Amino acid sequence: MEEVMSQMREYGTTMLEAKGIDYVFDFPTEAPSFKLPMDVKNNIYLIFKEAVNNLSKYAGCSLCKLSLSFSEKNIYLTIEDNGKGFDEATIIHNGGLNNMRHRAQEIKGVLDIVAIKGYERVY
């Protein structure tokens, strides 16, 4: 998991800095000691990558927070931004969102997308 966390930091930093978006990583200082199957690590990384890509292209945000935490049986990945939100029903090409849902299902995960059009979060 340590390698995945490193890849997330590297990808997030590259994408967000290129778009001039301020960001905060709230990741554990050490990776958990438990082992994860390769498909779980891969899908978590690809969900993260799609979410960061989408927010950097479409959110119109100036700040985002990327959080990762672990419990005994769960991994929590949270990505928040102060962007303009969106109405999923009006998205014409939602392949990225569908891909994230599919990847979460593959690893028996839950994907919650909370997006409120016109709502700008203030940190």
Determine the CATH number of domain 2-106: 3.30.565.10
Q: Assess whether pLDDT exceeds 80 at residue 119.
A: no
% the chain with pLDDT above 90 = 57
Percentage of the chain modeled with pLDDT above 70: 87
pLDDT score of 40 = 93
> What is the domain partition of the chain in residue ranges?
2-106
How many residues are there in the chain?
Answer: 123
Residues 112, 2: Cα–Cα separation, whole Å: 24
Burial of residue 3, with CB atoms counted within 10 A of its CB: 0-12 exposed, 13-18 middle, 19 or more buried: exposed
| In the predicted structure, residue 38 carries a pLDDT above the cut 60 | yes
